[in-house]
Amino acid sequence: MNDDVRRLLGGYATGTLTQAEQKELYEAALRDDLLFAALADEQALRDLLADPASRQRLLVKLNRKKQPTWSVPVAIAAMLVITVGAGMLWLRLNPPTQEVAMSVPRPAVSEPARPEAERQQPRQFKPEERKAVPSAPPRIPPPPSAIQVSSQAPKIAAPPAAALEIKQEAKQLAAPVAAEKTADLAAKVHYRFIESSEGLRVALTSTENGQLVVNSRAGRQTKLIFSTAAVPQTEYVVPSEGALPDNVSELIVTLDKTVFASRFAKPQAPAAARSAIRAEADQAAGSPYVLHIPIPKKD
Amino acid sequence: MQRDEVLRLLRERILAFATSRMQRESAEDLAQEVLMVLHDKYPHVKQMEELLPLSLQILRFKMVAQRRKALRRGEMTQASIDDLPLHDDAADPEAYVARREMLERLSAALDRLGERCRELFRLKLLGKTFAEIQSEMKAASINTVYTWDARCRKNLLDEMGGAWER
């Protein structure tokens, strides 16, 4: 095969050859089997490139500049450098703040924090400041520090004087109750049986005031059958109407001496004070006195 | 060169080429069919510059058709003809897929070529002649462009596995 002619092969499929070049190539191919076979093989490419759509697609691809092989690693490295640089710049502009929780000694409420120079001289209050100070306690500014301090100290509200007085009274009232706790309830509550045609009843008399509560027990079941604020030396008949059921084995009598029955009668005691007294008395007295009265069996 | 002389030479070349790709009897039939098409459908084509590419195109179509026919007859796969679909006059899906696949392979191969070869191929696709390519690429002579093109074609063919078609 003539190499001078063969070099024209590349122009056959793309239609690059001039008429003179075509004539030269074809004449040589008609006499050369190898060149003819090469041309026949080129026909597939020629048919493909004869399609305008395929030709255009290849042209679009070739018009795009080929990326050099080193471009990808360089691009990645550049992105990393930019990212790290931006991060360092951001950190420099926005230094991290360290939050530390620490207890700060609370200054006296009556003395708001003031600068040292200002403390040397007595402060001259303006008239409107004089008016504002007693009604609301001043807000305590945090101590000057380079570190941002998060103080979790709870707010302490000064207890009102009236409440303190009521609490002390409750303690005084509850103290004797606690001392009497061990005493026998039988000495304070007397009982007697009343037998009638309807059945058996019980008469209860308390020597002290308190909440008198009577429960009846039948087997494992307990049932409230009577409750009243007992007045001393007054007899109460249980049950008020009718008689005790036959299956009742005993009565459980309690006298709740948590002082509310007597002390709550104070008309001047407000609701908050009553709650305080009751809580204090309950805590001091503990459980109420209990008296078990066995019910005699009928013959 | 007269048409009959061109047709005689063409028959020799076609027969030699077809013999290298298929059996002798089939190659003779193939050459005869190509010449019959040239004789029957293109009697007005007399110039050698037109006859040769035309014959190459007919030859390719005939070879593809013969392969398809052999497949249909079960000469290679022994598949039943009843299982094959009837002929459709619409665009051949097989040819379409083959063309698309070849385009993909060519596109991928072009990616692996050097910058000069890509530029040369681009100018050829734009319809430039070798003389115009010489001035575009500022080559010393047109022989330089021929040499570049021959090397680039070889590289491209190598990148595609040695043949344009599979």
Instruction: Determine whether the interchain pair B129/A17 forms a contact, defined as Cβ–Cβ distance below 8 Å.
Output: yes
Query: What sign does the dihedral A108-A112-A113-A115 (CA atoms) show?
Result: negative
Instruction: Determine whether the interchain pair A40/B60 forms a contact, defined as Cβ–Cβ distance below 8 Å.
Output: yes
Instruction: Report how far apart, in Å, the C-alpha atoms of A172 and of each of A179, A259, A270, A283 are.
Output: 12, 11, 18, 12
Question: Looking at the partner chain, which of A10, A15, A37 has a beta carbon nearest the beta carbon of B127?
Answer: A15
Q: Is the pLDDT of residue B82 over 80?
A: no
Nearest partner of A208 among A230, A191, A184, judged by Cα: A230
Nearest-Cα residue of chain B relative to residue A11: B124
**pLDDT of res. B21:** 85
Please list, in sequence order, all residues whose beta carbon lies within 8 angstroms of the beta carbon of residue A189, skipping any fewer than 6 positions away: A204, A205, A206, A207, A212, A253, A255, A289, A291
- Please indicate whether residue B73 or residue A191 has the higher confidence score (pLDDT): A191
Instruction: Determine whether the interchain pair A40/B163 forms a contact, defined as Cβ–Cβ distance below 8 Å.
Output: no
Alpha-helical runs (H) found in chain A: 3-6, 9-14, 19-31, 33-50, 52-63, 71-93, 116-119, 127-135, 161-179, 260-263, 271-285
Question: Looking at the partner chain, which of B49, B110, B127 has a beta carbon nearest the beta carbon of A62?
Answer: B110
**pLDDT of res. B54:** 93
Nearest partner of A16 among A45, A40, A57, judged by Cα: A45
Query: ipTM value of the model?
Result: 0.74
Instruction: Report how far apart, in Å, the C-alpha atoms of A230 and of each of A191, A210, B44 are.
Output: 14, 5, 139
**pLDDT of res. A76:** 85
Nearest-Cα residue of chain B relative to residue A8: B146
Asked if the bond preceding A68 is cis, omega within 30° of 0, the reply is no
Instruction: Report how far apart, in Å, the C-alpha atoms of B21 and of each of B28, B59, B68 are.
Output: 12, 12, 15
Report the share of chain B in percent with pLDDT over 70. Answer: 89
Mean pLDDT score across all residues of chain B: 87
Q: Residue type for A225, please?
A: I
Tokens of A165: 């007085």
A-chain CB neighbours of B60 within 8 Å are 40, 43-44, 47
Instruction: Report how far apart, in Å, the C-alpha atoms of A268 and of each of A57, A162, A196, B5, B98 are.
Output: 102, 12, 46, 141, 107
Tokens of A287: 């459980």
CB contacts under 8 A, B 68-107 vs A, are 99, 102-103, 106-107
A150: which DSSP letter? E
Q: What is the mean pLDDT of residues B5-28?
A: 89
Question: Looking at the partner chain, which of B56, B122, B125 has a beta carbon nearest the beta carbon of A43?
Answer: B56
In DSSP terms, A210 is beta-bridged to: A230
Give B164's pLDDT tier (boundaries 50, 70, 90): confident
- Rounded Cα gap, residues A11 and B124, in angstroms: 8
Instruction: Report how far apart, in Å, the C-alpha atoms of A271 and of each of A134, A163, A256, A277, B134 are.
Output: 26, 11, 20, 10, 111
Tokens of A64: 């795009």
Instruction: Determine whether the interchain pair B133/A16 forms a contact, defined as Cβ–Cβ distance below 8 Å.
Output: yes
Give B71's pLDDT tier (boundaries 50, 70, 90): confident
B21-44 pLDDT, tens digit per residue, is 888 888 898 999 999 999 999 999
- A141 part of contact set with chain B, CB < 8 Å: no
Question: Looking at the partner chain, which of A19, A33, A61 has a beta carbon nearest the beta carbon of B107?
Answer: A61
pTM of the model: 0.45
Q: State which H helix or E strand residue B158 sits in.
A: helix B142-159
**pLDDT of res. A142:** 47
Instruction: Report how far apart, in Å, the C-alpha atoms of A175 and of each of A153, A210, A281 are.
Output: 35, 16, 8
**pLDDT of res. B118:** 93
Q: What is the mean pLDDT of each run of 10 residues along chain A (299 residues)?
A: 79 90 91 90 90 88 72 81 88 70 55 51 50 46 44 45 55 50 65 86 86 85 84 87 86 73 54 66 58 79
Instruction: Determine whether the interchain pair A36/B17 forms a contact, defined as Cβ–Cβ distance below 8 Å.
Output: yes
Question: Looking at the partner chain, which of B17, B126, B146 has a beta carbon nearest the beta carbon of A33?
Answer: B17
B-chain CB neighbours of A63 within 8 Å are 122
Contact A212, A228 (CB under 8 A): yes
Give B107's pLDDT tier (boundaries 50, 70, 90): very high
- Rounded Cα gap, residues B135 and B139, in angstroms: 7
- B121 part of contact set with chain A, CB < 8 Å: yes
Nearest-Cα residue of chain A relative to residue B47: A23
**pLDDT of res. A178:** 46
Instruction: Report how far apart, in Å, the C-alpha atoms of A184 and of each of A212, A277, A292, B122 are.
Output: 15, 25, 11, 119
Nearest-Cα residue of chain A relative to residue B128: A16
- Inter-axis angle of helices A19-31 and B3-21, nearest 10: 60
Mutate to test the interface with A, among B9, B30, B56, B96 (most CBs of A within 10 A): B56
CB pairs A-B closer than 8 Å: 120
Q: State which H helix or E strand residue B134 sits in.
A: helix B130-136
**pLDDT of res. B3:** 87
